[in-house]
Amino acid sequence: MVFSSLLFLFLYLPLFLICYTVLPKQLRNFILFIGSLIFYAWGEPIYVSIMLFSTLLDYTCGRIIDRFRNHPYLPKVGLCLSLLGNLGLLCYFKYADFFIYNVNSILGTSWQLLKLALPIGISFYTFQTMSYTIDLYRGKINVQKNIINFGAYVTMFPQLIAGPIVTYNHVEQELNHRQLNFERVGIGSIRFIEGLGKKVLLANNIGLLWDQINQTPINELSVVSAWLGMIAFGLQLYFDFSGYSDMAIGLGHILGFTFPENFNYPYISKSVTDFWRRWHITLGSWFREYVYIPLGGNRTSKARFYSNLFVVWFLTGFWHGAGWNFIICGLMFDALMIVERSFLLKKLENCHRIIAHAYLLIVILISWVFFSHDYLGEAFSYLKAMFGDAPTFINKVTCYQISNFYVLFILGSLFATPLMQHLKSKLPDWILYCFYLGILILSTAYLVDATYNPFLYFRF
């Protein structure tokens, strides 16, 4: 069951925080564990058992790795069990139908699709739990002997279902010893409200234009409408995902945790390389730490280096979804990264910043076409419309769309840059308090009026 988790969180959070703050410190991880399970079970009452199984699996494997540290092969057995268990669950629920469908298409077989619902957040929490056993095997962290504390880490609801991906070593100390104070609560509250405003006021409303254009028959689109649709989708995706990350980071501060940043204004980048240093930072860090570097990174031959990049970007695309559109999107970025590293980065650094920025935006908008369409045929048809294969360049519908949404495009463009953060630093505190209060009131009004506020990354 897909649910309006944002509205539930808004209603559930005050009660949870009262219990979390008032009850003894020794109970905080227990409260966090139980409270997170309740939050998750509200949307996935069946699949909460999958997350509990993953928790128990990695806790047990971690104890095996630690207990038999000096044994010749048992630590490897514990690590392999963890990896096979987590990746097995992820492949079964997320990729089984993809493989069955493609085998049927290639071999002419007729195996039935499983048609399993994807457990919310499974792509995120499986990566988090694997980071624990891998780092424990490497000797980078200490074993967690308290299963409640470990369960609190795995199920931690602020970032459970859409990131940022928080590796165990990032919160190891705070999981056992953390302090709550008014300063952190204030910082966290401001960050939460910023994320809430991004999601409810910007992403949801800009997404209305993308919904309109996406539902328009491809043979009725104008060239300008096709580009407007991708710009709207790109802004919606950014404010939706970065808004969730901001809320998670804010709630983390309130609970006494410091979560890693997940976005750093990616749309101001001037190259694909820079874009992926700024977009979904924790996913890139995870693949670099647990895939790219173990494969040899860039300290290998050129052929091996390109092979390593291919593996990472293939997996990055495939992580986002079980479809060839996501794989092509990942491989597209792989090719662009190779071209940039070979010669293009130097040229981009020497050319005018407007040209470099235009290059980046055009490339990203093209990539979002594959990201936003489940079927390759639809994606390629949409690309053709963007590049001239449309009945008109611009029509009355396009003009109407521009007149209705130009204010949101301006606001979205401003808030996608550091400009507003610089402006905030120059404003008096009372103006900022009124600003955030206004965002909170408007967002609450939208939430009460709306019955469904899905996050785009829930489907990944």
Which residues are catalytic, by number?
320
Query: Which residue pairs, CB below 8 angstroms and at least 24 apart, start in 123-126?
Result: 123/90, 123/94, 123/319, 123/460, 124/159, 124/160, 124/161, 124/162, 124/163, 124/165, 125/51, 125/54, 125/154, 125/155, 125/160, 126/54, 126/86, 126/87, 126/89, 126/90
DSSP letter for 111, please.
Answer: P
What is residue 457's DSSP assignment? G
Nearest-CA neighbor of 127 among 174, 180, 163? 163
In the structure encoding, which two tokens stand for residue 14, read together? 């005050």
What string of H, E and C letters represents the secondary structure of 399-433?
HHHHHHHHHHHHHHHHHCCCHHHHHHHHCCHHHHH
What angle is formed at CA 322 by the lines to CA 320 and CA 328, rounded to 5 degrees? 70
The closest alpha carbon to 443, from 185, 194, 157, belongs to 194
On whether the CB atoms of residues 323 and 98 are closer than 8 A, the answer is: yes
| Location of structure tokens 């048992």 | 74
> What distances in angstroms separate CA 187 from CA 11, 190, 276, 283, 426, one per listed residue?
21, 5, 27, 25, 17
Please calculate the CA angle 328-329-330 and round it to the nearest 5 degrees: 90
Rg (CA), the chain: 23
Kindly state the DSSP code that residue 121 receives in the 8-state scheme: T
CA–CA gap between residue 265 and residue 278 (Å, rounded): 6
Sequence-ordered alpha helix ranges (H) in 108-146: 122-138
Beta bridge partners of 392: 222
CA distance 220 to 318: 32
Q: Which residues pair with 222 in a beta bridge?
A: 392
CA-nearest of 47, 52, 45 to 118 is: 47
Cα 148 from Cα 59, distance rounded (Å) = 10
Q: State which amino acid sits at residue 213.
A: I
Q: Tally Cβ neighbours within 10 Å of residue 298.
A: 12
Rounded to the nearest 5 degrees, what angle is found at the Cα of 460, between the Cα atoms of 85 and 385?
145
